[in-house]
Amino acid sequence: MSIQSDPSLLSHMLQHIAPSIRIMEICGDLPSAVKSITKNKPDIVFLDIELPVYSGIQLLDFFNPEEITFHIIFTTAYNNYALRAFEMSAVDYLMKPIHEEKLRLALEKAGEKDFSSKEIFPVLKNNFQYESQKKMVVPVANGFEVLSLHTICYLKAEGSYTRIFFASNTNMLVSKNLKHFEYVLTGINYFIRIHRSFIVNINFAKKVLRSDGGTLLLENNTEIPIAEDNMQLILDSLQKL
C-alpha cells in the first residue's frame, strides 16, 4: 500500500522491480489511508512524511499500538532533522527522488525484520515532538532495544562497534560505529564528541582536569580524555548547564 503526495513514480518502480507485490491501494491523504489500512490490512505501507493536512507521522494517532501490524517505509524529501530522527529510531526510509536499488534494499530489509512497526513508530513520533524525552533505538542480538537518552553517560568507540555506558553503571556493545551515533545525536546539545573515541553526555560532567592534556571527570569518577581542540567547546558547554 502507498500513501504518497505523488505516487505514480513509486508505483511504477514497484511494478518493475517487485512484480509479485500487489499494490492494494494508493492514497493521497491520511484519512483515506486509515480506512484502506483498516479494510485491506497490508503487510507494507509506503508512507510520505509530507502529506496534505496531516503529516505522515500522525498515522499513529489513528491506530492503537496493537493495530499497527504492518511494516512502514517512510519516503521524504531531504531534511537533516527528519533523517536524524529516522536513524535514531531505526526506521526505514527512502529519500526522494527514490532510486530503484534503494527501494529494492528497503523491501529486502522489510522481509528480514523480526519486529513490528508498533514497537518503533511511537519512538519516532516521540523523537519528532519532544526534545527533552528523546529516545534512541539500537540493534541487539535478538532485535532492537529502546534507550532513553538521558540515561546514557557516554559512548566509547571499540573498532567498528560502540560501547554505551549508562547512569546505572551498566553498559552494552552495539554494532554501529561512533560516527553513526555522532550523526544521530547531532542537535542533542548535551551530547558532545570530546575525543575521537568518546561522545559524552555533559549532564554527567563533574569536573574538567587540565592535567595530561585535558580530562573530563564524570559523576561516577570515570575520566574521559579531551582532545586539545575540544577543550574550549567543553568549557563553553558546561557554562550553559
Read off the pLDDT of residues 175-203 as tens digits, 9 standing for 90 and up: 999 999 998 898 788 999 999 999 999 99
Task: List Cβ neighbours of 39 (8 Å cut-off, separation of 6 or more).
Answer: none
Please check the confidence at residue 161 and state whether its pLDDT lies above 80: yes
Which pLDDT value is given to residue 21? 86
Dist. CA 116–CA 218, nearest whole Å: 37
The average pLDDT across 113-135 equals 66
Q: How many CA atoms lie within 13 A of 185 on its CB side?
A: 23
Please check the confidence at residue 69 and state whether its pLDDT lies above 70: yes
Q: What angle do CA 93, 96, 97 make, to 5 degrees?
A: 135
Model confidence band, residue 15 (pLDDT cutoffs 50, 70, 90) = confident
Nearest Cα to Cα of residue 47 among 95, 3, 90, 100: 3
**Joined grid coordinates for residue 50:** 509530507
In the chain, pLDDT over 90 holds for what percent of residues?
Answer: 32
Which pLDDT value is given to residue 10? 82
Task: List Cβ neighbours of 201 (8 Å cut-off, separation of 6 or more).
Answer: 149, 150, 152, 153, 154, 190, 191
- The answer to whether 94 and 187 are in contact (CB under 8 A) is no
Query: What's the mean per-residue pLDDT of the chain?
Result: 84
| 142-239 has CATH 2.40.50.1020 classification | yes
Give the predicted TM-score (pTM) of the model.
0.62
Please check the confidence at residue 205 and state whether its pLDDT lies above 90: yes
Which pLDDT value is given to residue 1? 65
Please check the confidence at residue 132 and state whether its pLDDT lies above 60: no
**Joined grid coordinates for residue 112:** 528480514
Residue type, 173: L
Domain 2-129: give its CATH architecture. 3-Layer(aba) Sandwich (3.40)
Which pLDDT value is given to residue 78? 60
Which residue blocks in the chain are alpha helix, DSSP H? 8-17, 30-40, 80-88, 100-112, 117-129, 178-184, 231-239
The residue extents of the domains of the chain are 2-129, 142-239
Query: Secondary structure of the chain: what % helix, strand, coil (to 5)?
Result: 40, 30, 30
Q: Which of 54-58, 144-148, 156-160, 175-179 has the lowest mean pLDDT?
A: 54-58
Please check the confidence at residue 240 and state whether its pLDDT lies above 80: no
Q: What angle do CA 73, 79, 85 make, to 5 degrees?
A: 60
